[in-house]
Amino acid sequence: MAFTFKFIIQLFLTMMLAAVFTPLVKLLAFRIGAVDMPNKRRINSKPMPTAGGLAIFLAFSLATLWEFRHDLFGTNVLPVLVGALIVVITGVIDDVKELSPLQKITGLIIAALEIYYVAGIRINTMSIPFLGMFHLSWLSLPITILWILAITNAVNLIDGLDGLAAGISMIALVTIGIVSYFYLPDNGIVISIMIFTLVASIMGFFPFNFHPAAIYLGDTGALMLGFLISVFSLQGLKNVTFISVLTPMFILGVPITDTIYAMLRRFFNRQPISSPDKMHLHHRLMSLGFSHRGAVMTIYALAIIFSFIALLMNYASTTAIILLVIMTIFGLELFIELIGLVGENRQPLLHFLKFFGNRQFRQEVMQKYLQKRKDK
Binding residues for Mg(2+): 156, 219
Q: Which amino acid is at 167?
A: G
Burial of 74 from C-beta contacts in 10 A (0-12 / 13-18 / 19+): exposed
**Element (DSSP H or E) covering residue 301:** helix 292-313
Binding residues: 156, 219
What is the 8-class DSSP label of residue 63? I
b/e burial code for range 224-262 (CB count within 10 A of at least 16 → b): bbbbbbbbbbbbbbbebbbbbbbbbebbbbbbbbbbebb
Contacts of 95 (CB under 8 A, 6+ apart): 29, 34, 50, 51, 218, 219, 220
Packed helices 348-357 and 359-375: angle between N→C axes, nearest 10 degrees: 110
Please measure the distance between the N-terminal and C-terminal CA atoms of the chain and give it in whole angstroms.
79
222, 169 contact by CB (below 8 A): no
